[in-house]
């Protein structure tokens, strides 16, 4: 006896088309792995007239999502955007169909509601593809580390910005030049703002925190800074200090709650995240017992993202056959999201100062007055009697650092603060 | 209502003691995650008189494994070795208890039998701790990549040998010196042969292949070479070519079957595995759709390994409560294990040759005659009229390479072949 599960595919673009290909090409293997024949029963798109190639038979294509959903056991949502994706996913879950999605934008807004709806209906809502493309990270966080306590996750979760920063680092070029090139190579969206301003990474930060800490978080709770202010001089200074600048999504747990932030970050070149080049992604996890783990791979692209979708689909099918759906369950007591002012990190500052005796002492005193302790200070004289001062602090709160920066800025010997950047890792 | 699951712990050494600690210290969180109170019901050791600290109450300690197993819902085996571990695991599985183990030696010999016994009894046999310590690799391979086709896995799965090779690379020291130091630092077993001769890595290679390809493989099917022949000169030559030498466990799938091998390997310094330093482990996975993934973390140690054990335990508990055990299922048709002669890789050779006209041509001809194509050739002249020739080949079979080496060795212009090493990655 062959059991058949009907699969509705909502969206057949970059990722959806690859999912359709794999469903056709690897049908026998997928059946062996999942225990059921996975039959593509409907493909929903906007443009129903377009030819979609050999893996998407014309007769399955329509724009009628409701009919597609109502006729399916498993629904794959790869349209993107909030609506109508949200309405469709809710419809599928309400009918008890398990849903697989790669829609980080939607989940970072409505994740907790959607998980609850899935759990109510004994259905699964899986979303491995939504964070770091092909990299298995959500299942390891939720299952492999189920017996451990994750304290911090740091991810390079946006390929475009990593490509840009990596090129700036390798070539010493400045942001505009590299962006123009990345754009020409097709590495940037037509509107790159979601990438370079950090919003895409922020959505993923909210999802990583949700999985790592088992409570619902949304994108508006994530402090977000993009890479637009990173200069060739910052990259060069980092290089001189044997560091590299990466756009990191950092989520961490303390007694008080969870802190989520996305910003350009200095890390040592010895740190495993420093070896993540080009458009690759990686997620670095700190857990109480496991120590430091890292997961690395392609963060986007049709086939890699489809791989993650298919893993979720096979597991959803298995669970459906066994009647053992494993809905994502969040803590009954939500965990607080903390303001970025509470963030505790090290900082690297660059100041333009007068090159005169006593300047260092006065600046150091301001740091001391605000309880921010200095790890290293280095002065590079200029020709014109001015100097550049680079300061690395020990860990302190953003609150204390901000107050320090404001006070330092008022000193008459300080001409300007040219860069303030957070430092992660040892 | 609280459901309680009784947990028997067989072995309370490096890893077992940490498992007992976590079971006590994190009891509330483990209960929330698994759905049941996980109660340590028995601890089995050899020396029942020893004080085992606050997390192992005296009254639970005994040497009566049978009674411990028969009174438990979940059994954790952390004794190591083939017997009595095998007998105990079989007893537990036969009673329908799920078993968590870190025993790579046992699984690499008897894995398929034990998986079958587990499946027959609707029990789970989990072993994330057996490969690469804390690194979640088995669940990602079996679940996250369930919808993809893994073609190759390359792992740095032995921390001691990576520590040694990394030190040789950083310090230019030779093997004996570094081994003496590693030994003094406690990084080496009293008898380091299982590590340096590659047997530990070979057991893990068999397990990786079993999970990646869904068929049972055993350690005696793995071609195994250790690091004992690696010289400071090899390391130096690698460095000159911007490469590094790592002991890799390589398992790969072709139409014909699965090839498993453990040997020192040259990889480019740009390869993600090259950035794995000290005693860390990493597993690099190539899959048809996902592309290249890497999983990185501590490969051993009490707490990290216990983290992997606890993840397995929580999932086993969840599945037990839901009646949805997910036994490892291997392919009905076993996949053939191929002889190492069929391995297709690139090679780097070092030869001592006479520094005379026509030598290169004669040697190149021998390669051509055997169908082995040369990618690069470099000659370093010596003072005494002799020269060292370094050759990198394109990919070819080990069979062809061996025949080539034998024929080259017979040429009168060749004084000796000083090194033959496989090259992986691009
Ligand atoms: N691309 C990646 O590398 C990647 C990586 C990770 C996650 N994701 C996520 O995966 C999802 C899909 O991404 P993608 O790159 O495949 O998108 P895409 O190429 O833009 O494809 C979107 C598909 O959805 C269809 N669609 C959009 N709105 C629709 C509507 N209102 N009604 C019916 N069909 C509609 C489109 O139809 P037409 O073909 O007729 O226009 C198209 O087939 C997004 O959530 C994205 O964030 C993508
Ligand atoms: N250590 C690591 O970092 C690591 C990493 C990955 C996997 N593993 C695997 O985990 C397992 C445990 O390793 P470990 O390092 O924790 O070993 P260990 O420190 O040698 O501890 C072994 C424990 O088992 C007990 N034991 C051994 N033989 C026994 C027998 N016949 N009857 C009753 N008790 C017996 C010992 O009792 P006594 O205390 O009375 O001697 C001891 O408590 C092994 O399979 C190992 O390969 C270890």
- pLDDT tens sequence across A192-230: 999 999 999 999 999 999 999 999 999 999 999 999 999
The verdict on residue A330 lying in a domain is no
Tens of pLDDT along B40-90?
A: 999 999 999 999 999 999 999 999 999 999 999 999 999 999 999 999 999
User: How many Å lie between the alpha carbon of B13 and the closest alpha carbon of chain A?
Assistant: 16
- Whether A84 lines ligand 1, by a CB cut-off of 6 Å, is yes
Distance CA B328, CA B123 (A): 10
ipTM for the whole complex: 0.93
Atom of ligand 2 nearest to the CA of B301: 3
On whether any CB of chain A is under 8 Å from the CB of B375, the answer is no
Looking up tokens 């057991």, which residue turns up? B203
Q: Which of A117-131, A387-401, B175-189, B244-258 has the lowest mean pLDDT?
A: B175-189
Query: Rounded to whole angstroms, how far apart are CA atoms A114 and A104?
Result: 13
Answer whether residue B338 is part of any domain.
no
**Final residue before a domain boundary, out of B287, B322, B357:** B322
Chain A residues close to B26, C-beta within 8 Å: 147, 149
Q: Confidence class of residue A329 from pLDDT cuts 50, 70 and 90?
A: confident
For residue A383, pLDDT beyond 70: no
Mean local confidence (pLDDT), A123-136 = 94
Whichever domain contains B370, its CATH number is 3.30.70.260
User: Residues of B at the annotated binding site for L-homoserine?
Assistant: 189
Instruction: Judge whether B102 is closer than 8 Å to chain A, CB to CB.
Output: no
- How far, in Å, is the centroid of ligand 1 from the Cα of B187? 51
> CB–CB of A314 and B146 under 8 A?
yes
More confident residue, A327 or A142: A142
Q: What is the residue-wise DSSP string for B194-215?
A: HHHTSHHHHHHHHHHHHHHHSS
Give the Å distances, CA to CA, from B47 to A278, A407, B32, B51.
54, 64, 34, 9
Encode B211-223: b = buried (16+ Cβ within 10 Å), e = exposed. Answer: bbbbbbbbbebbb
Helix A14-25 with A302-322: angle, nearest 10 deg: 60
Mean pLDDT of chain A: 94
In chain A, the number of structural domains is: 3
Check CB contact under 8 Å for B30 and A147: yes
- Give yes or no for A294 touching B (CB within 8 A): yes
Same domain, B182 and B221: yes
The whole domain housing B378 covers: 343-424
Q: Is residue A389 part of a domain?
A: yes
**pLDDT score at B384:** 76
Q: For residue A35, what are its two tokens? A: 């225990």
Prior bond of B84 cis (ω within 30°)? yes
Same domain, B122 and B148: no
Chain B residues in contact with A312 (beta carbon < 8 A): 147
Is A273 in the same domain as A405?
no
Whether residue B334 is contained in a domain is answered as no
Q: What is the pLDDT of residue B186?
A: 82
A152 and A237 in a single domain? The answer is yes
Residue A269: pLDDT band with limits 50, 70, 90? very high
Same domain, A127 and A147: no
- Report which DSSP code applies to A110: H
Q: Are B147 and B251 in contact (CB under 8 A)?
A: no
| pLDDT value, residue A182 | 86
* Structural domain includes residue A335: no
Identify whether residues B185 and B307 lie together within a single domain.
no
Return the number of CB contacts < 8 Å for A and B. 177
Enumerate the residues of chain A whose CB falls inside 8 A of the CB of residue B270: 277
> Are B32 and A331 inside 8 Å of each other by CB?
yes
* Atom in ligand 2 nearest the alpha carbon of residue B133: 6
Mean pLDDT score, B175-196: 90
Q: What's B162's domain CATH number?
A: 3.30.360.10
Q: Round to the nearest angstrom and report the end-to-end CA distance of chain A.
A: 58
| Higher-pLDDT residue of A332, B193 | B193
- When mean pLDDT is compared over A11-15, A130-134, B187-191, the highest value belongs to A11-15
Query: Is ligand 2 within 6 A of the CB of residue B345?
Result: no
- Domain C-terminal end among B264, B289, B322: B322
Domain identity same for B257 and B150: yes
Q: State which residue of chain B sits closest to A299, comparing Cα positions.
A: B290
pLDDT at A355: 86
The answer to whether B28 contacts chain A (CB < 8 Å) is no
pLDDT at A386: 85
Q: CB–CB of A198/A224 below 8 Å? A: yes
**CATH number of the domain bearing residue B8:** 3.40.50.720
Q: What is the pLDDT of residue B383?
A: 67
Chain A residues near residue B34 by CB distance under 8 angstroms: 146
Q: What are phi and psi of A241, to 5 degrees?
A: -95, 15
Question: Is residue B97 within a helix (H) or strand (E), and if so which, with residue range?
Answer: none
Residue nearest to atom 10 of ligand 2 (CA): B102
Taking the CA of residue A10 and the nearest CA in chain B, the distance in Å comes to 18
Structure tokens at A298: 């392609």
Return the pLDDT at A289.
97
Partner-chain residue, chosen from A148, A275, A297, that has the shortest CB–CB distance to B291: A297
Q: Do A146 and B33 touch (CB under 8 A)?
A: yes
Q: For residue B419, how many other CB atoms are within 10 A of its CB?
A: 18
- Tell me: pLDDT of A382 over 80: no
The shortest C-alpha distance from B27 to chain A (Å) reads 10
Q: Looking at the domain assignment, is residue B21 inside a domain? A: yes
Judged by CB atoms within 8 Å, which residues 268-287 of B form the interface with A?
Answer: 270, 272, 275, 277, 287
How far apart, in whole angstroms, are the C-alpha atoms of residue B389 and residue A1? Answer: 63
Mean pLDDT, residues A397-423: 95
pLDDT in tens, A306-326: 999 999 999 999 999 988 887
Query: d(Cα A25, Cα A35) in Å, to the nearest integer?
Result: 17
Contact B29 A275 (CB under 8 A): no
Q: Tell me, what's the pLDDT at A381?
A: 75
Q: Which of residues 214-253 of A touch B (CB under 8 A)?
A: none
User: Tokens 């060292």 belong to which residue?
Assistant: B388
CB of A45 sitting under 6 A from ligand 1: yes
DSSP-based three-state secondary structure for B263: strand
> Residue B170 — very low, low, confident or very high, per pLDDT cuts 50/70/90?
very high
Distance separating alpha carbons of residues A254 and A258, to the nearest angstrom: 6
The residues, any chain, with a CB within 8 Å of residue B220's CB and separated by 6 or more, are none
Chain-wide mean pLDDT for chain B? 94
To the nearest whole angstrom, how far is the Cα of A62 from the nearest Cα of chain B? 26
What is the C-alpha separation between A195 and A193, in angstroms, rounded? 5
Ligand 2 pocket check for B79: Cβ under 6 Å:
yes
Query: Is the same domain home to B186 and B272?
Result: yes
Ligand 1 geometric centre to CA of A82 (Å): 12
Q: Flag if A147 and B318 touch (Cβ within 8 Å).
A: no
C-beta of B11 in contact with ligand 2 (< 6 A): yes
- For the cut 90, the answer to whether the pLDDT of residue B187 exceeds it is no
The answer, for B149 touching chain A at a CB cutoff of 8 Å, is yes
Is there an atom of ligand 2 within 6 Å of B393 CB? no
How many CA within 13 A on the CB side of residue B86? 14
Residue B329 has pLDDT above 90, yes or no: no
How many angstroms separate the CA of residue B306 from the nearest CA in chain A? 7
Q: Which of B147, B275, B295 sits opposite A22 (nearest CB)?
A: B147
A399 shares a domain with A286: no
Give the separation between CA B309 and CA B319, rounded to whole angstroms: 15
Rounded distance between C-alpha atoms, residue A212 and residue A153, angstroms: 8
Cα of A16 from ligand 1 centre, angstroms: 7
Looking at the structure, tell me whether residues B94 and B238 fall in a common domain.
no
Task: Note whether B230 and B308 are same-domain residues.
Answer: no
Structure tokens at A301: 């692209």
Give the residue numbers of the binding site of A: 10-17, 104, 189
* Cβ neighbours of A319 in B, within 8 Å: 324
The whole-angstrom separation of Cα B141 and Cα B411 is: 47
Residue from A10, A12, A79 to probe ligand 1 pocket by mutation (most atoms less than 8 Å from CB): A79
Question: Which of the residues of A are catalytic?
Answer: 204
B283 located within any domain: yes
Nearest-angstrom CA–CA distance, A203 and A280:
18
Evaluate if residue B148 carries a pLDDT over 80. Answer: yes
Question: Which ligand 1 atom sits closest to the C-alpha of A15?
Answer: 16
- pLDDT band (50, 70, 90) for residue B333: confident
Q: What is the pTM of this model?
A: 0.95
- Both B308 and B294 in one domain: the answer is no
Is residue B329 included in any domain, yes or no?
A: no
Residue nearest to atom 4 of ligand 2 (CA): B300
Question: Which chain B residue lies closest to A309 (C-alpha atoms)?
Answer: B147
* Predicted confidence (pLDDT) at residue A385 exceeds the cutoff of 80: no
């Amino acid at each position: 006896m062959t059991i058949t599960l009907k699969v509705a595919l909502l969206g057949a673009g970059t990722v959806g088309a690859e999912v359709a290909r794999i469903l056709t090409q690897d049908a026998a293997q997928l059946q062996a792995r999942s225990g059921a024949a996975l039959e593509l029963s409907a493909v929903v798109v906007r443009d129903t007239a377009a030819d979609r190639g050999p893996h998407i038979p014309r007769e399955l294509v329509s724009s009628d999502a409701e009919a597609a959903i109502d006729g399916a056991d498993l629904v794959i949502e790869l349209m993107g955007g909030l609506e109508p994706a949200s309405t469709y996913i809710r419809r599928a879950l309400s009918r008890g169909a398990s849903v697989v999605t790669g829609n980080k934008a939607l989940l970072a807004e409505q994740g907790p509601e959607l998980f609850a709806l899935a759990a109510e209906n004994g259905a699964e809502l899986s979303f491995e593809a939504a964070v770091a493309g092909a990299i298995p990270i959500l299942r390891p966080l939720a299952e492999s580390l189920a017996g451990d306590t994750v304290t911090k996750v740091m991810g390079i979760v946006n390929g475009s910005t990593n490509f840009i920063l990596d090129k700036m680092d390798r070539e010493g070029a400045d942001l505009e030049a590299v962006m123009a090139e990345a754009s020409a190579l097709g590495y940037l969206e037509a509107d790159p703002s979601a990438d370079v301003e950090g919003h895409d990474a922020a959505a993923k930060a909210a999802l990583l925190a949700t999985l790592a800490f088992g409570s619902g978080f949304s994108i508006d709770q994530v402090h977000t800074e993009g890479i637009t202010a990173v200069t060739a001089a910052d990259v060069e200074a980092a290089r001189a200090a044997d560091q590299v600048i990466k756009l990191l999504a950092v989520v961490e747990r303390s007694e008080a709650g969870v802190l989520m932030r996305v910003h350009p970050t200095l890390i040592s070149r010895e740190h495993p995240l420093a070896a993540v080049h080009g458009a690759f992604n990686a997620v670095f996890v700190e857990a109480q017992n496991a120590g430091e783990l890292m997961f690395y791979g392609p963060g986007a692209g049709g086939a890699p993202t489809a791989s993650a979708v298919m893993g979720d689909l096979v597991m959803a099918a298995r669970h459906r056959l066994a009647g053992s759906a494993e809905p994502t369950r969040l803590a009954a007591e939500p965990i607080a999201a903390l303001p970025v002012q509470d963030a505790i990190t090290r900082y690297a500052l660059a100041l333009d100062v007068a090159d005169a005796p006593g300047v260092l002492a006065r600046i150091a005193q301001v740091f001391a007055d605000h309880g921010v302790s200095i790890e290293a200070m280095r002065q590079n004289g200029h020709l014109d009697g001015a100097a550049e001062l680079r300061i690395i602090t020990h860990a302190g709160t953003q609150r204390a650092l901000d107050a320090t920066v404001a006070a330092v800025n008022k000193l008459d010997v300080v001409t300007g603060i040219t860069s303030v950047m957070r430092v992660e890792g040892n």
